[in-house]
């Protein structure tokens, strides 16, 4: 699959990896929007959150659980963090491979722009 996140998942493209198991890989965002900014993705290609079905609920839970564990490991859990999944055009999705953002290390504003 000619997809940058699939290539990272297959170790064909470089990334600063934070975690990996058979189903999931987490790595730092190349264009960080906060002092800590990483992405948690399934290794299998799903174009967006809208592209997965109910049978993927466990996988979605594992994305969130991985985010929670990594936030603790990286020492940002107490100060706080934000998890985001952008979906399709209005959601601001730019890479068409499902990914969960974790942003931390500065006070994030709300509502988002």
Binding site for Zn ion (CB under 5 A): 3, 5-6, 45, 97
Name which of 37 and 97 has its Cβ closer to Zn ion. 97
Q: Are 59 and 52 in contact (CB under 8 A)?
A: yes
CB atoms within 10 A of CB 46: 18
Residue 86 is a binding residue for ligand 5GP (CB under 6 A):
yes
Residue 27 is a binding residue for ligand 5GP (CB under 6 A):
yes
Q: Are 82 and 103 in contact (CB under 8 A)?
A: yes
Candidates 29, 59, 64, 83: give the one binding ligand 5GP (CB under 6 A): 29
Q: Which residues touch 8 (CB under 8 Å, ≥6 apart)?
A: 14, 15, 25, 27, 41
Name which of 34 and 63 has its Cβ closer to Zn ion. 63
Stretch that binds ligand 5GP, among 18-26, 49-57, 67-75, 93-101 (CB under 6 A): 93-101
Annotated catalytic, 46? no
Q: What is the DSSP string of 51-81?
A: G--GGGHHHHHHHHHHHHHHHHHTT-TTT-E
For the annotated catalytic residues, the residue numbers are 99
The footprint of ligand 5GP (CB under 6 A) covers: 4, 15, 27-31, 86, 92-95
């Amino acid at each position: 699959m000619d997809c940058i996140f699939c290539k990272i998942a297959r170790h064909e493209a470089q990334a600063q990896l934070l975690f990996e198991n058979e189903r999931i890989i987490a790595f730092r965002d190349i264009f960080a929007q906060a002092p800590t900014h990483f992405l948690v993705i399934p290794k299998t290609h799903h174009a967006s959150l809208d592209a997965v079905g109910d049978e993927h609920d466990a996988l979605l839970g594992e994305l969130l659980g991985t985010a929670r564990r990594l936030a603790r490991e990286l020492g940002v859990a107490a100060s706080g963090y934000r998890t985001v999944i952008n979906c399709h055009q209005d959601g601001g999705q730019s890479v068409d491979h499902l990914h969960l953002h974790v942003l931390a290390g500065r006070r994030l504003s709300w509502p988002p722009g």
